[in-house]
Amino acid sequence: MKSVAEIRDPIHGYIHITEVERSIIDTPIFQRLRRIKQLAGAYLTYPGGQHSRFEHSIGVMHLIDFATKVLINKGYLDKEKLQELRLAALLHDIGHGPFSHLIEEVMTEKRGITHEDITQRILRETEIKEILEKYGFNTDYMADLTVARCNKCSPFMNDLLGGGLSVDIMDYLLRDSYFTGVEYGKVDVHRIINSFEVVNDHLALDYAALYAFEALMIARYEMFRAVYFHRTVRAAEIMLINAIDLADDELGLTDTSNLDKYLSLTDEQVLTMLTNLNVQGRKDLKRAKDFAIGYRDRKLLKCVFERLIHRKDKFMERLFTQKRIRERIAAEIAEKAGVDADNVFVDVPTTPSIPYTSAREVLTSITLVSKTIEGIKYQTIPLSDLPLVSSITGYMDILRVYTPVEHRVKVEKAAREFFGKEGYSTKVSM
């Protein structure tokens, strides 16, 4: 664990790195993360939001170093696990492609592949594997740990990397808040991490840090509303997703059969490929190119209808989670407005208001540890018993209708009439 170099980070200060970490950071595979923005198209709304997956990955490594040392000092971990966890944190986003989650939306729908699948392949098939093995690490074990699916680890090690108390969430909230200039993501992560305990092999918190946990959940919720799901941010992302989807067969953007080729793609490279498409009289490629040029030049779609929905209404869940249903609704609105169906987009960005656990299950409770003169006690409290957190539990959907500026008035009127119909009412729990 000897430090061989340090990196100056605007969020965490000086971050020290070890020899094996420097070897990984210096690879072209890791360096490409400098050219993949953390927030994809959010910079078109928040100009400062141009930070990359590179610095986020290093920040997560720094926070897991802090968290692991806290758990070592409390007797929950052996110090030999420190380097493993630091490497897993460093590599946790290595599989992200250009525009991060945007290309993943297309890749998952068309090919059933996520960035976590790519991460595991990188650790098993590339020079990263050679580096890990050189320093004595089992690559299969590390591939599972890196995506927080390690069956051979204590479950709380997965919790550190993925789930409601993960250091990944903590870093991206702080970092995204800092670079976008939005205040909502500022959380006392050191208070939370210093309060880590382990109960039944899962992460728990000292009772005194309950307020900090509540602040973390609220901060995440507000960052989704203010930044990640901002109406203009989503306008840009809808255009880019459609451009990637329409041009994918031509350009092979989501084809991961050749891993080296896929890993050569970056944000600017893909945008250039899209804006330089040879359309050859093809409508699909012409639309893809127009979307990409509009994205590049910030000539964005306009939001004409918006409604925040908490998905406790089963009808709304059934209605909006399926792409084909959203497309059918868009077509009905377009017909009512008298415009081409290609000019109406129904968008419903969705996230669990409370993050999943590392086991990809809904987080329903938090275990709190109390230290008294009678000894150490713990209790598992349902989130429904925490008024602040309970108020946001469920799924947050933001229903929006978008259209090009020239159709704005007609589509807005048609959308409001459509969602006012019986059976499509959006008067659900807010």
Residue 427 inside a domain? The answer is no
Q: For 78-108, write each residue's pLDDT tens digit.
A: 999 999 999 999 999 999 999 989 999 999 9
At residue 78, what is the residue type?
A: D
Cα-Cα end-to-end distance for the chain: 49
Query: The domain containing residue 406 runs over which residues?
Result: 237-351+395-418
**Is pLDDT at 360 greater than 90 in this prediction?**
no
Residue 359 inside a domain? The answer is no
Residue 16 inside a domain? The answer is yes
**Is pLDDT at 199 greater than 50 in this prediction?**
yes
Residue 426 inside a domain? The answer is no
Domain end call among 200, 231, 262: 231
**381 closest CA partner among 220, 164, 217, 210:** 210
Domain end call among 198, 231, 264: 231
* In a shared domain, residues 255 and 215: no
Q: For 249-279, write each residue's pLDDT tens digit.
A: 999 999 999 999 999 999 999 999 999 999 9
Residue 371 inside a domain? The answer is no
3-state class (DSSP) for residue 138 = coil
Q: What pLDDT does 318 receive?
A: 52
Assess contact for 348 and 398: CB atoms under 8 A: yes
Strands 13-18, 375-382: pairing kind: unpaired
* In a shared domain, residues 75 and 127: yes
* In a shared domain, residues 226 and 255: no
**What would the mean pLDDT of 117-131 be, rounded to a whole number?**
98
Q: What pLDDT does 53 receive?
A: 97
DSSP string, 380-391: EEEGGGSHHHHT
* In a shared domain, residues 189 and 99: yes
**Is pLDDT at 425 greater than 80 in this prediction?**
no
Q: What pLDDT does 312 receive?
A: 56
Q: For 69-86, write each residue's pLDDT tens digit.
A: 999 999 999 999 999 999
- Assign residue 11 the CATH number of its domain: 1.10.3210.10
* In a shared domain, residues 45 and 98: yes
At residue 9, what is the residue type?
A: D
Using CA atoms, how far residue 176 sits from 48, 104, 184, 223, 300, in Å, is 9, 20, 10, 9, 22
